[in-house]
Amino acid sequence: MPHQNLNTYICAGDHPDITEERKKATFNTDNFAATLWGTHEKLERRREIAKYVEEHPELHDPYPTEFMDRQESLENVTRKTLLWMEHAENAIDISKQEEGFYFGTLITGSQGHPLSIHLIMAIPALMNNADEEQLDEWLPKAINREFVATYSQTELGHGTNLSKLETTATYDPKTEEWILDTPTVTATKWWPGNLGKSANYTVVMAQLITHGKNYGAHPFFVQVRDEKTHQPLPGVILGDIGPKFGMNANDNGFMQFKKFRIPRRTMLMKNAQVLPDGTYKPPLHPKLGYSSMIFVRSAVVGLMSLYLGQAATIAIRYSVIRRQGEIMPNAGEVKILDYQTQQYRLIPQIARAAAFRFAGIFALEMYNTVIHEISKGNMDALADLHALASGLKAVATFQTALGIEQCRFACGGHGYSLASGLPQIYSVAVGGCTYEGENMVLLLQLARYLRKRAIEIKSGGPKEKPTELSEYLFKTSAKHSLIGTNVSSTNFEHVIESFEHVARRLTLFAHSKLEKLEQSGMEHEIAINQTAVPWRRASHAHTRVALTRIFAHAVQRTTDIAVKEVLQDLIKLYIYYEVGECAAELLEDGFADGHQIEFAKDQVLEVLEKLRPNAVSIVDSFDFNDRELNSVLGRRDGNVYENLLAWAKSSPLNKHDVMPFHHKYLGKMMEDAREQSKM
């Protein structure tokens, strides 16, 4: 029997259709929100921070940013970023990263801001690559914002293949300086966020050459603009790369160096060093310089949960106030969420958002543990972390992008309007498929890891104790999948074991294909490329196992019984939906049969029906406020139509009833035509 008022958002003045939904909640939305955000205290802090932002109008946009041109939006977001920093001491506990991130997001929005890369990449890059003396010099200034830094790695000609970056840093022992140079057009740095106009310092990845030998790409910390005039320094050419698909409040830039000289100690020397005489000292691990990329990859998984959760919140709220068509003739128009197809499109997105939330927390915790171990000289877990972060980043960003598009489609015509907020969320989220390692490339990095495990399996077992998320690779499967034979609404172990079977089989399949090609005389690298598609499948399957295991642990740990019940419904949906996604792979070796796939599909429909009454309350539990959602369709009060009209009226085009150029063109055209017809 549903309880009254378990959804803590019920308010007078809300659209009656959305209030009716909230009254159906079977759980307390604050308790669910506390599970997602960590604790009740953290949830309370979110709300206090949001209230602070509401109460300070100077932190708001003067009018919708959708109506601004690029220069206006850059100026607006820069103004707000400064206010974010000024107000931080009053509004948040600045020692807590998540409070800073939330406060910043509420103020600056989702399209980027001038400190985006300074905070997300430049500071982590300094922390991971600068030695103690360098850190003492630069880190306090970076935190104090005495300069704005970015991270310049990608070039016009190369992004993925770091080994072929063309920017050079050639050491001159006579002056103890590096000479930075952009030898070709394709060596131009291209993409770094905030490099175009905002940043005056940057980490630069360049080929390190000393005594005539190239030691590969290494990080340098370089001043590129005058601290007073902000003009590019002589020998540095800088600019903005122009409008993009999204993130247009971010000035992604280009940069060229013309034999630009910088001191020896601008090379970041925590890992590798070059002595004054030019002697090169290699790092303990060749990939230590890539650590800040792993940080962002880990953080992006949680970020995707926010984007997908926001899109699902918008689409689900809208789907209960939008009425269109009838299910029973003459029974009145139904809420579009009552259509099974609408539920099938939207509710799995909530389940995925929850899965990415828990995986994001897991990945960042693992990152922190591994970096701590590295600081003690222990590199053992770096490869595991790189593999896991690569797989999770690739799968979460891809599925988030697809999921947001589903949410947009599900809102019909209004989803296509920027008033819905959905195109903006999509355009930002889909960037995650490319930045910080293109997804396919990252899945192939995970495949390298799986290949090593396949070799170990073939030679009798793991060389070292496998991680919790890879030990299944060394086990043997049951003869036949147990999907549907051990039906319990709360235990999905048998389904996860089926996913493990698929991942193990696809890994061994790709490996045996590779071996066969090699045995036929094909070179190893060519054979790797000839088996890349099977390896990609194995990587995706392995990541599915990780996502489901992490989700299942999180559900197990949940203590609030009513919340746990909803999470159990969500994981059930997540897991059986995934069975549908990998049905071909379960069937192709006969591990599962058609009845079992049919069973899983039925489970999806059954649990969708069960989740339907709780749908609004579940998205309410993500606890996004209207400022964060920036969506007329996703308004918490459900009053969509009058606000769509108000939004359209605020369009600058509607300042004039007649456009100033009307009589010059269309007016004249019609007038001329009328005159002519009289002749």
Ligand X SMILES: CCCCCCCCCCCCCCCCCCCCCC(=O)SCCNC(=O)CCNC(=O)[C@H](O)C(C)(C)COP(=O)(O)OP(=O)(O)OC[C@H]1O[C@@H](n2cnc3c(N)ncnc32)[C@H](O)[C@@H]1OP(=O)(O)O
Ligand Y SMILES: Cc1cc2nc3c(=O)[nH]c(=O)nc-3n(C[C@H](O)[C@H](O)[C@H](O)COP(=O)(O)OP(=O)(O)OC[C@H]3O[C@@H](n4cnc5c(N)ncnc54)[C@H](O)[C@@H]3O)c2cc1C
CB burial class (10 A; 0-12, 13-18, 19+) of residue 497? middle
For residue 101, the partner it binds in ligand X, ligand Y, none, with Cβ less than 5 to 8 A by kind, is ligand X
Interface with ligand Y includes 434 (CB under 6 A)?
Answer: yes
Interface with ligand X includes 473 (CB under 6 A)?
Answer: no
Residues in 111-130 that interact with ligand Y by CB under 6 A: 117
Interface with ligand X includes 162 (CB under 6 A)?
Answer: yes
- CB closer to ligand X, 97 vs 279: 97
For residue 152, the partner it binds in ligand X, ligand Y, none, with Cβ less than 5 to 8 A by kind, is ligand Y
Question: Cα–Cα distances in Å, from 357 out to 155, 170, 223, 299, 541?
Answer: 32, 44, 37, 10, 19
Q: Does the CA dihedral 513-514-519-525 come out positive or negative?
A: positive
Q: Which residue among 193, 219, 246, 360 contacts ligand X (CB under 6 A)?
A: 193
CB of 108 to ligand X, least distance (A): 11
Token look-up 């992490």 returns: 550
193 annotated ligand-binding residue: yes
- If you count them, how many residues does the chain have? 679
Residues in 78-97 that interact with ligand X by CB under 6 A: 97
Interface with ligand X includes 59 (CB under 6 A)?
Answer: no
DSSP letters spanning 172-238: ETTTTEEEEE--SGGGSEE--TTTTTT-SEEEEEEEEEETTEEEEEEEEEEE-B-TTT-PBPTTEEE
Compute the distance between CA of residue 583 and CA of residue 595 in angstroms, rounded to an integer.
Answer: 11
CB of 154 to ligand Y, least distance (A): 3
Q: Which residue among 119, 249, 395, 547 contacts ligand X (CB under 6 A)?
A: 119
Query: Considering only 6-14, 334-342, 380-388, 483-491, which stretch makes contact with ligand X by CB under 6 A?
Result: 380-388
Compute the distance between CA of residue 641 and CA of residue 639 in angstroms, rounded to an integer.
Answer: 6
Interface with ligand Y includes 278 (CB under 6 A)?
Answer: no
Active-site pick, 99, 436, 578, 585: 436
For residue 104, the partner it binds in ligand Y, ligand X, none, with Cβ less than 5 to 8 A by kind, is ligand X
CB of 229 to ligand Y, least distance (A): 24
Q: Which residue among 6, 49, 296, 495 contacts ligand X (CB under 6 A)?
A: 296
582 conformational bin, left if phi > 0, alpha if psi -120 to 50, beta if neither = alpha
**561-581 helix and 340-375 helix, angle to the nearest 10 degrees:** 100
- Other beta carbons within 10 angstroms of residue 380's beta carbon come to 11
Q: Which residue among 142, 267, 303, 350 contacts ligand X (CB under 6 A)?
A: 303
| φ, ψ dihedrals at 279, nearest 5° | -70, 135
Q: Which residue among 386, 544, 572, 635 contacts ligand X (CB under 6 A)?
A: 386
DSSP label at 333?
P
Token look-up 């068509």 returns: 325
436 counts as catalytic: yes
The interface mask with ligand Y, positions 234-253, x = CB under 6 A, is -------------x----x-
Q: Are 181 and 170 in contact (CB under 8 A)?
A: yes
CB burial class (10 A; 0-12, 13-18, 19+) of residue 434? middle
Which residues are annotated binding-site positions?
154, 193
Would you name the residues annotated as active-site residues? 436
Binding positions for ligand X, rule: CB under 6 A: 97, 100-101, 104, 116, 119-121, 151, 153-154, 159-163, 193, 287, 290, 293-294, 296, 299-300, 303, 382-383, 386, 435-437, 441, 445, 448
Give the interface with ligand Y as residue ranges (CB under 6 A): 117, 151-154, 158-160, 191-193, 247, 252, 431, 434-438, 440-441, 444
